[in-house]
Amino acid sequence: MSSSPPRPQNRGQKGRSQFEDWRTLHLRMQQKLMLCKVHSEIRIKILSLCQCLSLLLNPFLRLALVYL
């Protein structure tokens, strides 16, 4: 008979689940980063569209102000 204390059986499972938690957290952070990139690209496109519209409408607005 040996007097060593019994080892816990779920030691490997706990380490594995902790690794999976880190992995899911990493995947979530990657997804959020991709969403941020998409949102910034959409914002840039909207701003450039607004700039184009303002350049197109600027002469008409000046004419309208002259005739008012």
Give the global pTM.
0.52
Q: What are phi and psi of 27, to 5 degrees?
A: -65, -40
SS (H, E, C) 1-37: CCCCCCCCCCHHHHHHHHHHHHHHHHHHHHHHHHHHH
The pLDDT assigned to 15 comes to 63
pLDDT digit string (tens) for the chain, length 68 residues: 555 555 555 555 566 677 788 889 999 999 999 999 999 999 999 999 999 999 998 888 888 888 87
Domain locations in the chain? 20-68
First to last CA, the chain: 105
The pLDDT assigned to 61 comes to 84
Structure tokens at 28: 């979530």
